[in-house]
C-alpha cells in the first residue's frame, strides 16, 4: 500500500499513477494528426493489456486475477475500438498512411520508401509481408535488401573542443 494514499487522501481517489506520480499533461497525446493520435492510443492500450497480462501471470490471488481478467477484457475492447476508428478514418479519405499524407511524395527519396533493409543474420525476414508485394499504402512495392551498404562517405567529425569537456583548459 502507498502510505501517502491513506495519509493525504484518506484512501480517496488521487490524480496520480500507481506509484504516486501526479497526473499531468504528459499523459495526453495531441499531434494535430488524428491518425497518428489514434495509433498512439492503440499503442497505449496494447502496452496496458500486455502489462495486465504479465501481472495476471505473476499472481496467485483469485481476486487479483479476476480484476485483471476484467481489465484485460476491457483493453481488448479498447484496442478493437481504436483499430475500428483507424479503419474508419482511413476509409473516409480524410487521411491515409503514412502519416502525414500531406507531405508530397515526390519530395521523398522514394527509392528508399519501400525497401526493407535486413541488418540481421539470416534471411528469414525476406519472407515477411513487409519485404515483398504491394505496400500497405498501395503506392509502392516492398523490396527486400540483404546486407545494405552505407549510403555515403564515412563521416569525419571535427575534433572535440577540449574546453567543452573540462579537459585541456588553460
Based on the fold, state whether residues 99 and 122 are members of the same structural domain.
no
Based on the fold, state whether residues 83 and 67 are members of the same structural domain.
yes
Q: Which residue has the cell 509481408?
A: 129
Per the structure, the complete domain to which residue 126 belongs is given by 105-146
Domain membership of residue 166 (yes or no) is: no
Based on the fold, state whether residues 53 and 91 are members of the same structural domain.
yes
In terms of C-beta density within 10 A (0-12 exposed, 13-18 middle, 19 or more buried), how is residue 164 classed?
exposed
Region of 168 on the Ramachandran plot (φ > 0 left; ψ -120 to 50 alpha; else beta):
left
Based on the fold, state whether residues 113 and 83 are members of the same structural domain.
no
State the pLDDT at residue 60: 97
**Rounded-to-integer distance, Cα 150 and Cα 24, Å:** 42
Based on the fold, state whether residues 36 and 88 are members of the same structural domain.
yes
State the pLDDT at residue 1: 67
Q: What string of pLDDT tens digits covers the 170 residues of the chain?
A: 677 778 888 888 888 877 778 888 877 888 888 889 999 999 999 999 999 999 999 999 999 999 999 999 999 999 999 999 998 888 887 766 678 878 888 888 889 999 999 999 999 999 999 999 998 888 889 999 999 999 999 999 998 887 776 655 54
State the pLDDT at residue 145: 95
Based on the fold, state whether residues 19 and 63 are members of the same structural domain.
no
Q: pTM of whole model > 0.85?
A: no
Based on the fold, state whether residues 64 and 15 are members of the same structural domain.
no
Based on the fold, state whether residues 37 and 98 are members of the same structural domain.
yes
Closest CA to 48 of 27, 34, 30, 24: 27
Based on the fold, state whether residues 78 and 18 are members of the same structural domain.
no
Closest CA to 85 of 50, 37, 44: 37
Number of domains in the chain: 3
Alpha helices in the chain (DSSP H): 3-9, 34-58, 62-91
Domain membership of residue 158 (yes or no) is: no
State the pLDDT at residue 18: 73
Closest CA to 143 of 135, 155, 152, 153: 135
Amino acid at each position: 500500500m502507498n502510505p501517502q494514499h491513506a495519509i493525504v487522501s484518506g484512501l480517496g481517489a488521487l490524480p496520480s499513477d500507481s506509484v504516486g506520480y501526479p497526473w499531468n499533461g504528459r499523459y495526453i497525446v495531441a499531434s494535430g494528426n488524428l491518425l497518428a493520435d489514434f495509433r498512439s492510443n492503440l499503442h497505449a492500450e496494447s502496452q496496458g493489456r500486455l502489462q495486465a497480462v504479465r501481472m495476471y501471470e505473476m499472481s496467485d490471488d483469485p481476486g487479483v486475477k479476476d480484476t485483471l481478467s476484467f481489465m484485460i477484457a476491457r483493453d481488448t475492447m479498447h484496442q478493437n475500438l481504436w483499430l475500428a476508428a483507424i479503419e474508419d478514418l482511413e476509409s473516409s479519405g480524410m487521411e491515409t498512411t503514412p502519416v502525414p499524407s500531406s507531405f508530397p511524395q515526390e519530395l521523398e527519396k522514394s527509392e528508399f520508401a519501400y525497401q526493407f533493409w535486413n541488418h540481421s543474420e539470416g534471411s528469414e525476414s525476406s519472407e515477411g509481408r513487409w519485404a515483398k508485394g504491394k505496400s500497405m499504402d498501395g503506392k509502392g512495392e516492398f523490396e527486400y535488401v540483404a546486407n545494405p551498404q552505407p549510403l555515403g562517405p564515412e563521416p569525419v567529425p571535427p575534433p572535440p573542443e577540449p574546453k567543452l569537456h573540462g579537459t585541456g583548459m588553460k
